[in-house]
Amino acid sequence: MKGLQVVTTSEAEDQASSTSSHIEANAATLLRELDWFSQVLDLRVKLYFQQESELTSIEQVLIPELCFDHSHYALWVKKHLTTMEERLVLVMAMIPHIKPQLFDTFFIRNSNFDRAYTEFGGKQGQTHSGFLPTCETAAFVVSGEDLTSRLNIAALFEVPHPFLTQNVLSLNTPSEGEPFFSSAFSIQVEYLNLFTTGVTEKLDYSNQFPAKLITSKLDWSDLVLAHEVMSEIDKIRTWIKHSAQILDEWGLSKSLKPGYRSLFYGPPGTGKTLTATLIGAELGLDVYRIDLSSMVSKYIGETEKNLANLFDQACNKRWILFFDEADALFGSRTQSGGANERHANQEIAYLLQRIEDFPGIVILATNLRANIDDAFSRRFQSLIYFPMPDAEQRYQLWLNMLNGHYPEGETDSLRDIAEKHELAGGAIANVIRYAAISAVQSGYEKIDHHDVCIGIAKELRKEGRTI
């Protein structure tokens, strides 16, 4: 559960006022863009069907000036786009969300064949009754019958164009054998929010994005790890802080790839997830825990498609991708030669390639290193073992987690507990939760030693052990 943020009435009013001003600025800009596009589309249709018109080219339609426009939309366009064609494509991606009726022109049917015009492209959504543009639609609006211009349009939907490198547009590639221009394109939610409300909400779990943003109220002082483990973690933190210096200023980008991959392994509850979360919190990176159950599919090609979608969305973002219980997806390849085994091996090979090429931070976590394919291990920059905490570390964990809610005269008993019972941090947290509930039920202000002992016994039974 996310912690509540206390906001004063004045702060709430300021936030509401700021959001309102962003919306007004963006709306004013977008209205001018939509009016411009409407004129361009009207002229394109007239020219294509050889209807009377005062203008002879869509370049003659006056483009809205953005020089003194400070809306989020205008600022992004001025920074990343240089041509009329690019702006037309961006507006087209937004139209289904802000003024879908502008595309109703494309529902005109070819009376000669009693069907839609092929050159209009587009498709209709499952629930959206309006017209959704494809690359064919963009080519019609921008190029008409100009083949050279049509061929140039394809570059707007390929890397290294900002539409893709900045993850502004998503491209729904067609089925095998169908032309590239039948690919549907749409604006990503993050940029739609930025260009309309001025607020970019962080992505969270959905069918299109099978990952969960994870955060923690804890900090590094709450994480109790051995010195050698922290030393390895510092390497990751240093790389994130200084990778630009190493790659660019030192000229090592020729031999080193920009990403960083690390494997955290060790018993459950030893701090692997918390460590990834704290690295992100310290360095301003969002940490997304990947839902492997949504990634893996029994249907051939679907797992690779899900992985491609995830890595495409994460590319050029300041994210850490955290694969928990990673052996479910990164397991060892087999040599039996069956169809299912070949399919699984293909998935692993594809994942290996995507992780190696990913320019960001990837952290895998597993309880058993032996379950991870050796091909992945060789490509990790670091393999960090999270051991069970020793007695002194366990004692520190007890003190940190109890946070003073333990009778002062019984702190020596905590040391005895720490020395006697080998428990990971996650297990200690479970014990304290049980003891805290029991204390509240009994009306105590402090956690009782007896309840702690009962909680320990319950936790040990989970692992098949006894006190």
Show which of 196, 224, 243 is a domain's final residue.
196
Length of the chain: 467
Q: What is the CATH number of the domain that holds 237?
A: 3.40.50.300
In order along its 467 residues, the chain shows pLDDT tens digits of 333 344 445 544 555 555 678 899 999 999 999 999 999 999 999 999 999 999 999 999 999 999 999 999 999 999 999 999 999 999 999 999 999 999 999 999 888 888 899 999 999 888 888 999 999 999 999 999 999 999 999 999 998 899 988 889 988 878 778 999 999 999 988 899 999 988 776 666 565 677 889 999 999 999 999 999 999 999 999 999 999 999 999 999 989 988 899 999 999 999 999 999 999 999 999 999 987 777 776 666 677 777 787 888 787 788 999 988 877 666 655 555 555 566 566 767 777 788 888 889 999 998 888 777 777 777 889 999 999 999 999 999 999 999 888 887 777 889 999 999 999 999 999 999 999 999 999 999 899 999 999 999 999 998 888 77
User: Do 336 and 300 share a domain, yes or no?
Assistant: yes
- Domain range holding 141? 9-196
Beta strands in 188-248 (DSSP E): 211-213
pLDDT of residue 18: 56
User: Do 97 and 180 share a domain, yes or no?
Assistant: yes
User: Do 172 and 293 share a domain, yes or no?
Assistant: no
User: Do 189 and 305 share a domain, yes or no?
Assistant: no
In a domain, 203, yes or no: no
**CA distances, 454 to each of 148, 324, 430, 436, 462 (Å):** 78, 30, 12, 12, 13
In a domain, 204, yes or no: no
In a domain, 72, yes or no: yes
Whether omega before 96 lies within 30 degrees of 0, making that bond cis, reads no
pLDDT of residue 305: 76
Show which of 196, 225, 246 is a domain's final residue.
196
Q: How many domains does the chain have?
A: 3
User: Do 183 and 315 share a domain, yes or no?
Assistant: no
pLDDT of residue 1: 33
Is the Cα torsion angle 390, 391, 396, 398 positive or negative in sign? positive
Residues paired with 287 in a beta bridge:
320
pLDDT of residue 12: 44
pLDDT of residue 310: 82
